[in-house]
Structure 1
Amino acid sequence: MGRAESSCSWLYNCVCIVIVSYLGLSSPLAGKEVWAYEEVREGAHMFWWLYTADTDSQNRPLVMWLQGGPGGSGSGFGNFEEIGPLNRDLEPRKTSWVQAASVLFVDNPVGTGFSYTDRPDGYATDVATVASDMLVLLQHFFKKMSEFQSNPFYIFSESYGGKMAAAISLELTKVNVTSLFNFPFSSILIIDKTSASSTDSVMTWGPYLYTTSLLDDYGLADVSSAAEAVKQAVEQQQFQKATELWSVAETVVEQNTNGVNFYNILTQDSDEKRTSVAGDFIALQTHRHIRPLHSQSLSELMNGPIRKKLGIIPQNVTWGGQADNVFSYMAGDFMRPVVDIVDQLLTAGVNVTIYNGQLDLIVDTIGQELWVKKLKWEGLPGFNKLRWTPVDDPTSPGVTGAFCKTYKNFSFYWILKAGHMIPSDQGPMALQMLKMITQQD
């Protein structure tokens, strides 16, 4: 792999790091929490929040969690709704990932969650900038938290976070990681829950909904026609237009299914939610895919007790206040595929794992499988010859909770009875998957 010099700035910004207990909040952790801001570019400030593992943190892996959107907050949604030590009611979560790893939440890209920018040109417009920003943040993080330099490092991601994780991991293959972070690159593993080719997801929406009896013949024709328009725009590399047409295709799906939920096909969006936003596609898409991650109750928690607890959030910064801008500035990059990046990672020897929920629509499993078959990685024929292996549901021995395939440095997990947010839908299975991937009993 390449050993090119990093272009990351070595400017070290002295930012307050806080190491405390939960300041009166109910907590299952006996260990410590750490959080801080890093200035990754002039005027661009990224927030991170680390929970050390419940036990034996020196030997447990370090997991960095990246939320989707773009504009969804890991410090909020991923933390309190999915894998953090406390749920939204500040009660201990039985399936928290801190049981098996130290967990680092990063509000990424800049402007997400508690991260913020002082000016419009501080927002990222593509995953290349997202990756560059993250390398700067990781430099500061591992310099400040040197005790984690010897821990295995994993990047877990959800939804659009998978595109960001792929780009970040590729950048880590291009720099001298040992000299930058003082840990060997072999410790890094990308866990990619994404649609590396959003076109493949859109093109399979119709067939997936039809075979699950959520579309009739007329609806299938409508959705397929809308999807074809998206595909043509991507093939012509008109990515901004493709994002707009992707939004149109979602509207066609909603109209023909009476509001199926894109995150779990067994649920339905209310009429109010479907009709409450009018106007340009950016407003509609942030309402569809960012606002669910910033529900009113979660926003009240983050801008109330959590903000007070953290004690370092600037007065002019509201949790989630810049999320719409994050999506807007990234819209031109949203539909750009990254299958070639996954190919490069596999060829470089990086361990890549895809995990997908059976009931997810927006990044449906058959769409994932479709782009995987397009990989040029030399190991793909061997992977395709494998039959999957059932994985027991940890709460019901003998009952299948998932299926798995692993060949060389590539794995795929099919998580049953789960939608887009797998840890929320199938917390025990998600925790079991984490332990399997990190090779813990």
Structure 2
Amino acid sequence: MVLAWRMCSVRLWRLFLSLLLGLNAGSTADWPAEEEGKEAWDYVTVRKDAHMFWWLYYATNPCKNFSELPLVMWLQGGPGGSSTGFGNFEEIGPLDTQLKPRNTTWLQWASLLFVDNPVGTGFSYVNTTDAYAKDLATVASDMMVLLKSFFDRHKEFQTVPFYIFSESYGGKMAAGISLELYKAIQQGAIRCNFSGVALGDSWISPIDSVLSWGPYLYSMSLLDDKGLAEVSGIAEQVLKAIDKGLYKEATQLWGKAEVVIEKNTDGVNFYNILTKSTPSPAMGSGLEFLRSPLVRLCQRHVRHLQGDALSQLMNGPIRKKLKIIPEDCSWGGQASYVFLSMEEDFMKPVISIVDELLEAGVNVTVYNGQLDLIVDTMGQEAWLRRLKWPQLSKFNQLKWKALHTNPKSSETSAFVKSYENLSFYWILRAGHMVPSDQGEMALKMMRLVTEQE
């Protein structure tokens, strides 16, 4: 016990010295494996004219070396939302948008890898418009190039447990990426200790979300009978389009369904039903003249991930810190095109991919915020019930158990159910961005998923 305390004290002192001397500034060079509290970042050219940006933070637990803790990769939604920006400074990174320390940063218990994907997101960029990803297959194959480069370069992480955590459309991408990563590891193409994927408020089955919007809002007293009928009617139109394989039309109808909801709920916020939506800012990129329904969707579901304060931070102090960003590449500048390029793929489900992951033995965690509308918990439960995983009936028979962030408090923070390699977390009092709304519970969940509690 005395030896452990002394080792912890030494690490605390080393961490203090590194902060005092400004050694956390980061660089494009690899940091020595024995150093803690370090950062690294770089670009990987994943295809011709397609360049993906990543940013790594080494874990800073004062009592453990980073090699004793897992590596977590965070994937944002949109598509077009930036992990290095929103996920980092608004949710789980070491600093907030005011560059002040975050008490609930995941960096206490894991090294963090933020990746701006698909290409064109955040600081990632393309040289030609035909280099944008148009489907999940391209998104996944691009990530395989990046992960191979990353683990080849950072061999100190090849044996560290590696988890993919995600949010919103990032969950759909995470599912596809996880399956391809599992295959690449089996084939010996990538060396890493892939240990599981967590799908947060994820766009796994878009139609299940859309069909549940009306009943969910009605149950929360945000729709009356007439409003419920209108929302259910447009949801049925989306279902018919998907059943016919008309995915572009389904995406357009999805946008119309959101307009119907806004009109009937006096502007409910799709990301937290207890708040109200704010008007979408103008997109000053000329895109307002192109496919206006999709542009409005982009304004709602991508622009909120790059608000003025975050954009100023990323294109100001952070851009200056990173130093390697091309002069003509502004953070978030290509996000609208990323969203528009995925139009046909947007409403396609990936339930079958989750089934493949489960049957392959990959640990899959699903988690959802109680107050989320865009990917409400009812919709998540609906697609989960349609899994073909042989153990699903046993999972369904289990009763969930309550979780508390404070052992001394009787207040329930979440519920969880787990069987073999499938877990589901119901996060209370959280909207779409679970770590932003319930930081302590999100951190506790991450530790449970990565087997640290």
Q: Do they superpose with TM above 0.5?
A: yes
Residue aligning to 2:196: 189
The residue type equivalent to 1:203 in the other structure is L
Shift of the 275–150 alpha-carbon distance from structure 1 to 2, 3 Å rule, reads: closer
Residue aligning to 1:231: 239
**Alpha-carbon contact 2:143-2:177 (below 8 Å) kept:** yes
Deviations 1:182-223 (A, max 9, x none): 334xx3311112131110000000000001000011100110
**Alpha-carbon contact 1:84-1:98 (below 8 Å) kept:** yes
Of residues 177, 182, 192, the one that matches 1:173 is 182
Q: Is residue 2:158 matched to residue 1:149?
A: yes
User: CA offset at residue 20 of structure 1?
Assistant: 5.5
Of residues 110, 113, 117, the one that matches 2:122 is 113
Residue aligning to 2:207: 199
User: CA offset at residue 72 of structure 1?
Assistant: 0.1
The residue type equivalent to 2:54 in the other structure is W
Q: Is residue 2:280 matched to residue 1:273?
A: yes
The residue type equivalent to 1:415 in the other structure is I
Deviations 1:350-404 (A, max 9, x none): 1100000000000000000000000000010000101101001338622110000
State the secondary structure of the residue aligned to 1:124: coil
Residue aligning to 1:218: 226
1:226-375 matches, cutoff 5 A? 226-270=234-278, 272-273=279-280, 280-375=292-387
Of residues 76, 79, 88, the one that matches 2:97 is 88
State the secondary structure of the residue aligned to 1:387: coil
Cα distance in 2 between the residues matched to 1:182 and 1:318 = 33
Taking only the aligned residue pairs, the percentage that are identical comes to: 57
State the secondary structure of the residue aligned to 1:381: helix
Gaps of 5+ in 1: 1-18, 24-28
Cα distance in 1 between the residues matched to 2:222 and 2:282 = 20
Shift of the 399–355 alpha-carbon distance from structure 1 to 2, 3 Å rule, reads: same
User: CA offset at residue 22 of structure 1?
Assistant: 2.7
State the secondary structure of the residue aligned to 1:147: helix
Residue aligning to 1:16: none
Cα distance in 2 between the residues matched to 1:20 and 1:123 = 36
Of residues 116, 139, 145, the one that matches 1:130 is 139
Cα distance in 2 between the residues matched to 1:129 and 1:111 = 13
State the secondary structure of the residue aligned to 1:181: coil
- How many pairs are equivalent? 415
1:158-169 matches, cutoff 5 A? 158-169=167-178
**Alpha-carbon contact 2:74-2:164 (below 8 Å) kept:** yes
User: CA offset at residue 139 of structure 1?
Assistant: 0.5
Cα distance in 2 between the residues matched to 1:415 and 1:176 = 32
The residue type equivalent to 1:230 in the other structure is V
Cα distance in 2 between the residues matched to 1:143 and 1:281 = 43
**Alpha-carbon contact 2:184-2:190 (below 8 Å) kept:** no
Residue aligning to 1:98: 107
**Alpha-carbon contact 1:395-1:428 (below 8 Å) kept:** no
State the secondary structure of the residue aligned to 2:402: strand
Cα distance in 2 between the residues matched to 1:366 and 1:338 = 17
User: CA offset at residue 175 of structure 1?
Assistant: 2.4
**Alpha-carbon contact 1:204-1:367 (below 8 Å) kept:** yes
Shift of the 104–170 alpha-carbon distance from structure 1 to 2, 3 Å rule, reads: same
**Alpha-carbon contact 1:80-1:86 (below 8 Å) kept:** yes
**Alpha-carbon contact 2:364-2:422 (below 8 Å) kept:** yes
Deviations 1:150-196 (A, max 9, x none): 10000000000011000011112322457333334xx3311112131
The residue type equivalent to 1:265 in the other structure is I
Cα distance in 2 between the residues matched to 1:396 and 1:426 = 18
Residue aligning to 1:40: 46
Cα distance in 1 between the residues matched to 2:112 and 2:356 = 26
Task: Provide TM-score, normalisation by structure 2.
Answer: 0.89
Cα distance in 1 between the residues matched to 2:90 and 2:408 = 23
**Alpha-carbon contact 1:149-1:183 (below 8 Å) kept:** yes
Shift of the 139–255 alpha-carbon distance from structure 1 to 2, 3 Å rule, reads: same
Residue aligning to 1:389: 401
Aligned Cα root-mean-square deviation (Å): 1.8
Cα distance in 2 between the residues matched to 1:358 and 1:329 = 31
Residue aligning to 2:12: none
Shift of the 396–94 alpha-carbon distance from structure 1 to 2, 3 Å rule, reads: farther
Deviations 1:123-145 (A, max 9, x none): 00001000000000001000111
The residue type equivalent to 1:91 in the other structure is K
**Alpha-carbon contact 2:36-2:58 (below 8 Å) kept:** no
Cα distance in 1 between the residues matched to 2:25 and 2:430 = 31
Cα distance in 2 between the residues matched to 1:170 and 1:178 = 12
Residue aligning to 1:64: 73
State the secondary structure of the residue aligned to 1:400: coil
